[in-house]
């Protein structure tokens, strides 16, 4: 017998020293004979279990060829020393990737199943960190585009500007002990800004038409012979407009804006104590149907929330709107500069009336922007084209109220106070705020 082979007696001795020291050979049961086709047993094949599973191993032992003794099955309990147990059984345990142990028998062939289960840590299986992915390629290109954007001298003369404000991320739902069912109804979240900016990034690259050939080849460099001009300007602003400034109070009134600031300042402490951040400062929330002229309608907790950073988000959103207005009006007299502004901000505003927030909207950003344009740039006419799924009941209510006031002004009133506003909406009348069948809301949305 070759020196690499293990005889049945030697194998029994090995097993006895490992876990069956007090068991005699008579304790070992003989495997019952089964009428199955005989296979060639000239070589012994042992399927090694995965390195993480050595709970129970079965070893087939046999004598030298020609022996009449039947096969025996020896079962051993788990061994604490996996390497020692495997070596005693003649199972190869790799000491290094691709290098089997010297003690392994030459007639042992690993089974295909064990090769699939085992995951040797070889250099070939490790992902190549230098390999480009769709995300890394896109980030690299957009980063290069932004660098070119910032260094370009003609960026201020582009016809479209996109305004972004980092403070708008801060406004978020922060009530403790909220169920998953309630969280699923909070559809207005900071992620909306991220989704919008992904669309802005895609539009920037697509409108630039610099990488159209890369869709049909492996070339990831800018196409030659195509326009190299920038499609639009991206402007990050840090401007903040106080809620009590005339720009805001012309639309929402001084008293309500002062109250909103107090609510924002107290939101964090109320939430920390398990209270409700939407309780109005006087502590007396009247019913929305109250006939008391001094009664304050209760704010709806299902689609309104405040946190410690809400004030910065609200004032930053107004600052972004004012920057967008300035960008359009600053170069109009000279025929240069932006003609369109896309202000990527939140919270939204078209459900908010002059004195009552609703539908995740605390300030009517569009009407505040019109007020700012009238005061600072002499705007005389404005049109609101609302293409949201929902009817902008707040924007429409402010428009009607504003136009009614303008009609009563004397003819010699300043033009900035007589700005005519038109509101036009494309919406689903079966959606919010008409889905409950409120006749007045349906009539106004019709």
Catalytic residues: 351
The fraction of the chain above a pLDDT of 90, given in percent, is 38
Of 226, 198, 197, nearest in space to 211 by CA? 226
Tell me the average pLDDT of the chain. 74
Better pLDDT: 72 or 425: 425
Among 9-23, 184-198, 383-397, whose mean pLDDT is lowest?
9-23
The whole-number average pLDDT for the span 28-36 is: 44
Instruction: Check residue 213 and give its pLDDT.
Output: 58
Instruction: Check residue 43 and give its pLDDT.
Output: 43
The fraction of the chain above a pLDDT of 70, given in percent, is 62
What's the predicted TM-score (pTM) here? 0.64
Question: What is the tens place of the pLDDT at every residue in 89-124?
Answer: 344 444 444 444 444 444 444 444 444 445 555 555
């Amino acid at each position: 017998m070759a020196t690499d082979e293990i005889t049945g007696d030697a194998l029994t001795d090995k097993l006895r020293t490992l876990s069956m020291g007090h068991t005699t050979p008579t304790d070992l049961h003989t495997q019952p004979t089964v009428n199955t086709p005989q296979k060639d047993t000239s070589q012994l094949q042992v399927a090694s279990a995965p390195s993480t599973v050595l709970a129970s191993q079965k070893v087939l032992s046999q004598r030298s060829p020609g022996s009449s003794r039947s096969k025996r099955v020896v079962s051993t309990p788990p061994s604490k020393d996996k390497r020692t147990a495997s070596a005693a059984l003649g199972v190869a345990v790799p000491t290094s990737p691709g290098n089997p142990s010297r003690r392994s028998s030459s007639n042992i062939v690993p089974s295909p199943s064990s090769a699939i289960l085992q995951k040797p840590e070889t250099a070939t299986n490790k992902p190549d960190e230098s390999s480009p992915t769709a995300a890394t390629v896109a980030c690299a290109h957009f980063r290069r585009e932004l660098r070119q954007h910032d260094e370009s001298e003609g960026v201020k003369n582009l016809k479209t500007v996109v305004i972004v404000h980092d403070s708008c991320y801060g406004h978020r739902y922060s009530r403790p002990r909220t169920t998953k069912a309630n969280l699923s109804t909070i559809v207005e979240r900071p992620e909306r800004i991220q989704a919008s900016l992904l669309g802005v990034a895609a539009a920037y690259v697509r409108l630039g038409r610099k990488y159209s050939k890369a869709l049909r080849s492996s070339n990831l460099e800018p196409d030659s012979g195509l326009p190299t001009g920038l499609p639009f300007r991206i402007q990050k602003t840090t401007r903040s407009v106080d809620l009590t400034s005339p720009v805001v109070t012309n639309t929402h009134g001084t008293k309500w804006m002062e109250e909103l600031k107090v609510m924002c300042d107290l939101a964090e402490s109320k939430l920390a104590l398990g209270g409700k951040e939407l309780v109005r400062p006087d502590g007396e929330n009247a019913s929305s149907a109250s006939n008391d002229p001094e009664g304050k309608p209760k704010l709806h907790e299902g689609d309104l929330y405040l946190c410690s950073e809400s004030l910065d988000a609200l004032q930053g959103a107004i600052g972004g709107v004012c920057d967008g207005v300035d960008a359009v009006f600053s170069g109009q007299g000279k025929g240069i500069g932006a003609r369109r502004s896309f202000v990527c901000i939140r919270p939204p505003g078209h459900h908010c009336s002059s004195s009552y927030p609703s539908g995740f909207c605390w300030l009517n950003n569009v009407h505040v922007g019109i007020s700012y344009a009238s005061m600072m740039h002499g705007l005389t006419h404005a049109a609101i084209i609302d293409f949201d799924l929902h009817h902008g009941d707040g924007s429409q209510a402010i428009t009607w109220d504003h136009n009614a006031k303008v009609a009563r002004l004397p003819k010699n009133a300043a033009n900035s106070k007589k700005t005519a506003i038109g509101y036009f909406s494309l919406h689903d009348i079966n959606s919010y705020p008409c889905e409950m069948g409120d006749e007045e809301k349906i009539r106004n949305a019709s």
